Amino acid sequence: MSGKIGVYFDQQNIGGGLDLEALAAQTSAKWGDLTAVVKVVPVLALAVDEIRADIEAQGLDGVLLCGASPRVDGELYRLPVQVEHVNLREQCVQAYKNPDRTPVDSASAPELLTLMARDYVNMGVVKLQKSEAPEPASVTGVQRILVIGGGWTGLTAALEAAATGYEVVLVEKADKLGGAANNIPMASPLVSPWTDKQPTNLVAKVSEVTGNPKIKIHMNAHMEKLEGQPGEFKAVIGTLSGPVEVEVGAVVLATGWVALDQKYLAPMGLGKSPMVVDAATFGKMLVADQVKANRIAFVLDTTMAEQAVAKAAEESAPAGDEKPAAAAAPEAEEGEEVFVKEDLESLRHLSYSNAVNSVGMLRLANTVCEKTNDACQAFILYKDMTVPGILERFYKKMQERLGVMMTKADVTDIREAGGHMVVECKNTLLGMDFDLDVDMVVLPTGLVPTTAKDVTIHFDYRQGPDFPDLQLFDGFADSNYICFPYETRRTGVYAAGCVRQPLTMDACEEDAKGAVLKAVQCIEAASHGVSVHPRSGDLSYPLFNMVRCTQCKRCTEECPFGALDDDEKGTPRLNPTRCRRCGTCFGACPERVISFANYNIDQIGSMIREVQVPKDFKKEGPRVLILACENDAYPALDMAGERHKPWSPYCRIIPVRCLGSVNAIWVSDAMSKGYDGVMLLGCKYGDDYQCHFVKGSEICAKRKENIAETLNRLGVEPERVELLEVAIDEYDKVPAIIDGFVDRIVAMGPNPFKGM
Amino acid sequence: MAQITIKPDLEFVRALEEAGGESLKKCYQCATCSVACPLSPANAPYPRKEMVWASWGLKDKLRGDIDLWLCHNCGNCSDLCPRGAKPADLMGAARNVIYKDLTEPTVVGKWMSKPSGLPILFGIPAVIWLVVWWIRAGFNGGQWFPRAADGRIVFGQVFYGDYTIDPIFILTFFGALFILARGVMKLWALFKPEGKTTVIGKTKCWIWHLWDVLWDEVITHRKFDDCENGPATGKETPSRKYGHFLLVWSFVILACVTAIVAFAHWGGKVMPVIHFETPMPLTFPVKILANIGALMLLLGLGFLTVRRLRLNPKFQGSNWYDWYLLGIIWLVAVTGVLSQCFRLADAIVPAFLVYYLHLVFVWMLFAYLPWSKLGHFVYRTAALLYARMYGRS
């Protein structure tokens, strides 16, 4: 609770003809003692020392900086007290336009602009007033990393973590380290210049791991349980000599893949003839020197298999319609839901593995030709030849081999005829359809992530033992963050290698390094009591006023990260280092018992109420509240302002951590205050959903339906509340989105509650 | 449904690589080459498809491919190829390999295909002309370097036209013609698709088509403009038109001179009016024409040689066939000019030695024409004629 606030206006950055002195005077007059210092400074960035002096001299406990967006030069103002920014530049002056769209006179500010600026300053003061400096919830931060899986990725991760100074516990399910890499003595390139096949030297890597005193290895082991939270996880490892308990700070999941079931490729002859094998099997045969074929077709086009699956689905479609209803029934009956792992393996895993197979087949084809000095002919028949990134160089080199012949082709039939195989090719680059007589057909191997088939970690979490929403990624433990690929929905657990995405071995190594870095970061963050990602360094965390909690479990269910456990009664229990500080829990809470020290229901509600809503709708215009996601929508608005793409001056914007944190009460607050509309501006959901907190706007959309119902009951048109989506790069579209909404509100007329 | 079963021939790929297409496996079929080619038609353009056929060793496809001969080797495709696969070199190499296998006896083609065959190619005429010299020396009383009665150097003293040069060259000429004719017929048969070809629309006599070909390609060199005026490649490629033009026309002039001399000599035996004998005086019109031809030859050769030397090997290389042809023409020209100089300077030993070499090289030029790069002048003309008569298959 800030009781003594210094307010500073940045003359250089505001402009727009605003009378800052008048604004300062108004602020002083309105807030009196609360705003102990109110100053207009010519250049805020040069006044940092002055502000520090004021903090010392006046005993300020909060500083309100009115000027540019908090996204600009925010790091300049690291002050010992709470700092809040009022965005008077990008989202006020630069975004201003007259309601009738007449040109703005920059010499003196129009009245509407002055009103807007005053509202924003008052909102800022209230925000600070209702905010407290958060105390960190730090834990020990065990300096030990658990690596699950002793394959190529896991071994790399273990070595990387040990080299960084952390202890490592390595869990391997088999009796031998190396996993799939055991079958690939010569891999695609692992280092520059990325042109040639390269020995993996797996043996050396394994002995480096086994000889490292920092690495403790459990062979023939599996995860029985993971409980606790980042920085102080407790892992229970099932070994041949019984369960072993170990404390770890973070986890790297590198459980890899299993080969796609042969049945999916049966339409292409796999399993029907010994002359048809998959790439993984062929690789093993090649290592064992069992390949005798002289003409080999490497078929990357799997349309035949896809068509067979599509056909089968079509045939079973009528029956399939009834299935979901039947499946839903037992869940409804049972109070205690029993977790059942859904097998997510499908033919799609083959498509996802296309890049790995492309690189792999180039390598295998080149190897057979090299071994026989091109007495062997290898045909690569592809639909999509995908070589990721710099492996293009490898492709170039492999392709140059005399015996390697490639063409894009539709492979329409693979049949046995007279002791050899016939591969029928259509639409080829050779300009004709043709048959190939070969002694062997090699089909791609589908890499199915272990997470699609098994519960790998067995979380002892309220939300269940498995990763949530795995079906969205066809079972891959992938993240929805472009920039944070190792991130999983369970903080402190970082996925690397083929369990995350089918990858070549060089990429697996890079993945392992990245995941270890994240694990280290996580342990450090946990020991400092700050959020690790994406609100890195955030000290705040949700606090529960248990007295009013009704144990409705909404918060524990809706938390996207499973941060909240509960007891038998359903009382929520927070694991602060699992938490990512999005506020989805307090958005969910109907009793409003959850708050953050510096972000809470009352605070935002007070800001909403602080706006002066004029009574005369016709003369003074409507007022529209925009609750904007601060990760995507808010930057988009900033960019729109910067580029002078203004929007309606009747809007007041409040950034929220995530649309998932929007509590229905704020909408009621706005309606009773007399706002004519509320706009919820969040990120786009759907295929390229980039929500930092997984599904904030989606949750918000669901809650909006309930809000609409309430509004209907009160006699307020539910259309006054709209959820609109904008991506971070859509600054050019956002003004039109806002103006469109304001136009609809104007057409609807004033809020019936106005002036009551 | 039965389709064609293809049988890649990797030996053929090796042969293409040796004949100058060593980068062919680099191609990744982006078809930039086909877009860059100023001559390639929109329908089934080249040289993209030739690149994949070459990579797959589809010998029959390439042998029956008329497009190989429509290419005029400007090198735009190679300049723009993002992979450095040098399609222009492949097209040239494919043409060379095809002469090699098409023209009988194929052993000559083998000798022609690499530098190691050169001693044999040189040895054959060297022996022939040495034998002639030895026999004639016997006639000249054992004198290997005889002077004429008036003291002048007359090459005819040794290499007497009527009994040595003329019969040998006439035989060589008609032999080469015969071999070429058989080669052209074989090529023609390869171009012909299976079944019956029907030409729809108005047709012209093949003579007129041939005239069109000669007019565009040889007389005016118009096709070369199309080639040079292709899309800008951003790379400096020296022009071939003028060098090639000078060279071709010098061949025509020198062929005329030879014909006139032969006509005057042999015809003169029945019609004394037209008779004159060599050596001709320097002011004699035919001699002037001959020297103009020789000058043009040297100039054209110079242009083309400098151009080849200036080619950026990153984009376009010169193979053995290229250098063999340029080399042999150089040797013919240089020995021709030098023998005249030595004769006029009255240096009898070098004059006869150089003249002997001149005869060897001229024989090499003509006798091996069907297997050498020079064969393109017949095979390409045939292919262009075919394309005009029946279109591309």
pLDDT digits (tens, 9 = 90+) for B283-312: 888 888 988 998 898 899 999 999 888 888
pLDDT score recorded for residue A1: 65
Question: What are the tens digits of pLDDT across the range B103-138?
Answer: 888 889 888 888 999 999 999 999 999 998 898 888
Chain B residue closest to A423 (CA)?
A: B5
Question: What are the tens digits of pLDDT across the range A450-488?
Answer: 999 999 999 999 999 999 989 989 999 988 777 788 999
Name the residue facing A403 among B10, B52, B58 (closest C-beta). B10
Region of A389 please: left (phi>0), alpha (psi -120 to 50) or beta: left
A399 to chain B: which residues are within 8 Å by CB?
25-26, 28
pLDDT score recorded for residue B196: 67
How far B13 CA sits from the closest chain A CA (Å)? 8
| Chain B CB within 8 Å of residue A436 CB | yes
| Chain A CB within 8 Å of residue B8 CB | yes
Task: Using DSSP, state whether A9 is helix, strand or coil.
Answer: strand
Name the residue facing B5 among A374, A400, A434 (closest C-beta). A434
Q: Please measure the distance between the N-terminal and C-terminal CA atoms of chain B and give it in whole angstroms.
A: 24
Residues 558-597, chain A, touching B (beta carbon < 8 A)? none
Name the residue facing B52 among A407, A422, A433 (closest C-beta). A407
Count A/B contacts: CB-CB distance under 8 Å.
58
Distances from the Cα of A709 to the Cαs of A592, A600, A694, A702, A719, in angstroms? 19, 24, 26, 12, 11
Cβ separation of A430 and B6 shorter than 8 Å? yes
Residues 22-41, chain B, touching A (beta carbon < 8 A)? 25-26, 28-29
ipTM of predicted complex: 0.83
B83 to chain A: which residues are within 8 Å by CB?
396
| Chain B CB within 8 Å of residue A472 CB | no
pLDDT grade, residue A205 (50/70/90)? very high
How far A379 CA sits from the closest chain B CA (Å)? 9
Question: Is the per-residue pLDDT at A418 higher than 90?
Answer: no
Residues B14 and B216: their CA atoms lie apart, in Å, by 35
pLDDT grade, residue A19 (50/70/90)? very high
The answer to whether A505 and A185 have CB atoms below 8 angstroms apart is no
Stretch B357-365: mean pLDDT: 92
Residues B193 and A747: their CA atoms lie apart, in Å, by 75
Question: Is the per-residue pLDDT at B67 higher than 60?
Answer: yes
Residues 359-398, chain A, touching B (beta carbon < 8 A)? 374, 377, 395-396
Residues A114 and A98: their CA atoms lie apart, in Å, by 12
Residues A597 and A82: their CA atoms lie apart, in Å, by 11
Stretch B71-86: mean pLDDT: 89
What number of CA atoms fall less than 13 Å from residue B234's CA on the CB side?
3
Residues B342 and B351: their CA atoms lie apart, in Å, by 5
Stretch A322-334: mean pLDDT: 47
Q: Enumerate the β-bridge partners of residue A725.
A: A682
Cα B40 → chain centroid: 23
pLDDT score recorded for residue A318: 65
Name the residue facing A436 among B6, B10, B49 (closest C-beta). B6
Cβ separation of B28 and A399 shorter than 8 Å? yes
Residues A467 and A562: their CA atoms lie apart, in Å, by 10
| Chain A CB within 8 Å of residue B194 CB | no
pLDDT grade, residue A435 (50/70/90)? very high
Name the residue facing B29 among A377, A422, A429 (closest C-beta). A429
A383 to chain B: which residues are within 8 Å by CB?
none
Name the residue facing A432 among B4, B55, B57 (closest C-beta). B4
Residues A631 and A626: their CA atoms lie apart, in Å, by 14
How far B327 CA sits from the closest chain A CA (Å)? 32
In chain B, DSSP assigns E strands to: 4-5
Residues A238 and A172: their CA atoms lie apart, in Å, by 11
Stretch A4-20: mean pLDDT: 94
Cβ separation of A400 and B25 shorter than 8 Å? yes
Question: Is the per-residue pLDDT at A327 higher than 70?
Answer: no
- Mutate one of B55, B60, B90 to test the A interface: name it (highest A CB count within 10 A): B55
